[in-house]
Amino acid sequence: MARNKYPELTVEKILDTAQRLFLEKGYDNTTIQDIVDHLDGLSKGAVYHHFKSKEEIMDAVGDRMFAANNPFEKVKNRKDLNGLQKLQEAIRLNQSDDDRTSMVIQSIPLTRNPRLLVEMIQSNLNVLTPYYEALLEEGNKDGSVHTEYVKEIAELMPLLTSLWLLPSVFPTDKEGMKHKFRFIGEMLEKMGVPLMDDSIYQLVEEFFEKMPDEMPSDQKKK
């Protein structure tokens, strides 16, 4: 069999197809075979050559969707916003991306997988923390924030807003998640970073309302 000269194109094709099916049918209702059936001749073996599981495909789809519509990149060079406003606008843009928020909600049960959870934490540290740190430093310089804990907050924010708010890791209901998010906002304000305003609280609470009341039965804690 001839070697695939363009493996990156195969990966993109798999991810394009998977993303479309996950958004149309939902992650739980999409099988690896469904993805293969829409790949115009690629075999299941070709898919497994690049991804060990459907979970890995979902993880890669989420990373690619963020990179393609990165809210931090959209705000970092804006001259009409100070550091705090850039952080706020990045959060608004992220929460307003309906396709990505849908994918985030669908992927919550996957964090039961320890390897994917560790990869998510590492990705947050490598990708999100530098963005938070740069904008917090900018906010300190322009006076929109006043904190001595730039590095610490930059590391903590992705952990709190992803890991700590995950009901699959820290079991809670929708009201509990809303209460936690309010806690994050008040804590940041006391640290000199008044990040959360009414518009952000509203967007995030709408996001929580879209989440299922219960995790799928096979994903619940035993």
CATH of residue 18: 1.10.10.60
Model confidence over 23-65: pLDDT tens digits?
A: 999 998 999 999 999 998 888 998 999 999 999 999 899 899 9
Supply the pLDDT for residue 121: 87
Number of independent structural domains in the chain: 2
Supply the pLDDT for residue 199: 94
> Do 197 and 136 belong to one domain?
yes
Say if 175 falls within a structural domain.
yes
> Do 191 and 116 belong to one domain?
yes
Domain, as residue range, for 200: 69-217
Q: Which pTM was predicted?
A: 0.84
Say if 222 falls within a structural domain.
no
Supply the pLDDT for residue 168: 82
Supply the pLDDT for residue 212: 78
Q: With a cut of 50, list the residues of the chain below it in pLDDT.
A: 1-3, 216-222
> Do 162 and 209 belong to one domain?
yes
Say if 28 falls within a structural domain.
yes
By the 10 Å C-beta count (0-12 exposed, 13-18 middle, 19+ buried), 145 is classed as buried
